[in-house]
Amino acid sequence: AAAGSGVHRELLARHRAVLPDWLALYYAEPLEITHGEGRHVWDAEGRRYLDFFGGILTTMTAHALPEVTKAVAEQAGRILHTSTVYLDRPMVELAERIAALSGIPDARVFFTTSGTEANDTALLLATAHRRSNQVLAMRNSYHGRSFSAVGITGNRSWSPTSLSPLQTLYVHGGVRTRGPFAHLDDEAFTAACVADLADMLGQARADVAALIAEPVQGVGGFTSPPDGLYAAFREVLQQHGILWISDEVQTGWGRTGDHFWGWQAHAAAGPPDLLTFAKGIGNGMSVGGVVARAEVMNCLDANSLSTFGGSPVTMAAANANLAHLLDHDLQGNARRVGGLLLERLRAAAAGLGVVREVRGRGLMIGIELVAPGTDTPSPEAASLVLEAAREGGLLLGKGGGHATAGVLRIAPPLTLTVAEAEEGAAVLEHALRTAESALAGGQTA
Ligand code: PMP
């Protein structure tokens, strides 16, 4: 039913009455998406949208990718689910592929059903291995909604409660263009963050378990540190025996274009001790997981199972999706098409007071919006652009922490074509101009 129609209003009212208030809904008239194909989705009214948010990065390759649909249907026709207490061929196959791709030596893979659960497991492993519940996380980070993941998330909307099971210390460096070191050049910025970390560790208890970090902060507004920051951190971490967990839930699988994993932008650091993934690998099916060296993975003295992690139908989807990604060099596509899109968007934003920065890597592009002529983050501008882009048939994401609120997030399926990038950039340019003039005119929409 059309946005604003009686049927649509009724569904919205029922949603609001029965689901939590903290479940975010985009748009003044939230969308009901009922169909998808390639880089497009359709709403219940039959209106088509170019999807620049990939279902929040869950659609890695394309909506309704035929190989994935076929693999899921075939597996569903045999058996939907068994359990990890039995041998699971698709799970073993996917684990072998991911272990080889991870760069982690002697890697073991454990499958979960979400990014939250993947990080929760990584924290469990790291704290058990180090016998400490003290961890380091980045300011402005986001790692999920479980008790432990909330406890380390630095983003204000999920700031830790005093009841967190983990003691968390927050590290500078995830946000390049705001904060106390923003005015420094890359080298000095990195040196300042490293000195701050070393100073903090000097004062902390000696047994910090791990640093968890997103190579490019996702929810925090697609911000990344200078290349090599985590390599520099690692030297300090290793002096203290602290493990490095790279949260690749948004940055994995070639999305950043130049690298298959986000951690590779810091390659001197070598692979992380633990790596977590989720979102796009299942192309819409719930697949997450954690990769770790055998020594870390096997530190638990447990005899356990994962009821739904590694479920054959989700593994079949992920195997088909990953094969498509590798066979079609979608990392290369992310680099090429993402580079062009970044260029177009920078040109579109030139001269607009509402845009503070257009930044990105591959098909992970952020546009930071501010109240025109100021440095003040503007969630209001982001909402205006989102509504205008939707009118133009384009879906975008929003993000940003307390310092960066009001960032547009662009993360289309990795099969995005040049023509689609250009079409989306044109709609976005118009939407940015619409927001600029609405804000300049003092209107609020
Ligand atoms: N880590 C990162 C970097 C994320 O972006 C997210 C989801 N936005 C999560 C973890 C949590 O994943 P999920 O929503 O699948 O639990």
181-190, 196-205, 322-331, 409-418 — which is least confidently predicted? 196-205
445: in domain: no
Number of H helices, E strands in the chain: 13, 15
Residue of the CA atom closest to atom 10 of ligand 1:
143
Q: What mean pLDDT do residues 398-408 have?
A: 84
| Candidate ranges 22-31, 151-160, 435-444; pick with highest mean pLDDT | 22-31
Asked whether this complex has an ipTM greater than 0.90, the answer is yes
Pocket test of ligand 1: the residue of 117, 121, 123, 143 to mutate, having most ligand atoms within 8 Å of its CB, is 143
Evaluate if residue 234 carries a pLDDT over 50.
Answer: yes
Task: Read off the tokens for 97.
Answer: 């592929």
C-beta separation of 376 from 403 below 8 A: no
Is 196 in the same domain as 218? yes
232: in domain: yes
427: in domain: yes
Relative to the CA of 56, which ligand 1 atom is closest? Answer: 8
Count of structural domains, the chain: 2
Residue that terminates a domain, selected from 286, 306, 327: 327
140 CA from centroid of ligand 1 (Å): 14
Relative to the CA of 146, which ligand 1 atom is closest? Answer: 16
Specify the pLDDT at position 159.
Answer: 62
Question: Strand order of the sheet with strand 288-293?
Answer: 107-112, 288-293, 274-277, 243-247, 210-213, 134-138, 167-171
215: in domain: yes
Is 17 in the same domain as 136? no
Is 270 in the same domain as 358? no
Is 210 in the same domain as 308? yes
241: in domain: yes
**CATH (domain of 341):** 3.90.1150.10
Specify the pLDDT at position 24.
Answer: 86
Is 110 in the same domain as 163? yes
Contacts with 429 (C-beta within 8 Å, 6 or more apart), sequence order: 345, 348, 349
Is 100 in the same domain as 175? yes
Token pair 């919006």 is at which residue?
369
Relative to the CA of 248, which ligand 1 atom is closest? Answer: 3
Is 336 in the same domain as 320? no
- pLDDT confidence band for 109 (50 / 70 / 90): very high
Residue of the CA atom closest to atom 1 of ligand 1:
143
409 CA from centroid of ligand 1 (Å): 15
Is 229 in the same domain as 373? no
What percentage of the chain has pLDDT greater than the value 70? 96
- Kindly report the CA angle at 431 between 42 and 408, in degrees rounded to 5? 80
Residue that terminates a domain, selected from 297, 327, 357: 327
249 CA from centroid of ligand 1 (Å): 6
Pocket test of ligand 1: the residue of 138, 279, 407 to mutate, having most ligand atoms within 8 Å of its CB, is 279
Pocket of ligand 1 (CB under 6 A): 114-116, 119, 142-144, 214, 218-219, 247, 249-250, 278, 288
Q: Which residues pair with 51 in a beta bridge?
A: 395
2-11, 111-120, 221-230, 368-377 — which is least confidently predicted? 2-11
User: DSSP alpha helices (H): ranges in 154-223?
Assistant: 186-203
pLDDT tens string 33-91: 999 999 999 999 999 999 999 988 999 999 999 999 999 999 999 998 888 899 999 99
Relative to the CA of 219, which ligand 1 atom is closest? Answer: 5
Evaluate if residue 444 carries a pLDDT over 50.
Answer: no
306 CA from centroid of ligand 1 (Å): 19
1: in domain: no
Residue that terminates a domain, selected from 327, 361, 396: 327
Specify the pLDDT at position 4.
Answer: 63
Pocket test of ligand 1: the residue of 142, 255, 274 to mutate, having most ligand atoms within 8 Å of its CB, is 142
Range of the domain at 132: 66-327
Is 321 in the same domain as 335? no
Is 190 in the same domain as 99? yes
355: in domain: yes
Is 335 in the same domain as 293? no
353 CA from centroid of ligand 1 (Å): 32
C-beta separation of 174 from 359 below 8 A: no
Specify the pLDDT at position 336.
Answer: 98
204: in domain: yes
Task: Read off the tokens for 327.
Answer: 């066979």
235 CA from centroid of ligand 1 (Å): 27
244 CA from centroid of ligand 1 (Å): 18
Is 37 in the same domain as 76? no
The amino acid sitting at 284 is G
Specify the pLDDT at position 3.
Answer: 57
4-8, 252-256, 317-321 — which is least confidently predicted? 4-8
Mean pLDDT across the chain, nearest whole number?
Answer: 94
81-85, 249-253, 371-375, 386-390 — which is least confidently predicted? 81-85
Specify the pLDDT at position 56.
Answer: 86
**CATH (domain of 134):** 3.40.640.10
Contacts with 149 (C-beta within 8 Å, 6 or more apart), sequence order: 116, 119, 120, 123, 143
Evaluate if residue 304 carries a pLDDT over 90.
Answer: no
Specify the pLDDT at position 445.
Answer: 43
Specify the pLDDT at position 48.
Answer: 98
pLDDT tens string 194-215: 999 999 999 876 699 999 999 9
194 CA from centroid of ligand 1 (Å): 26
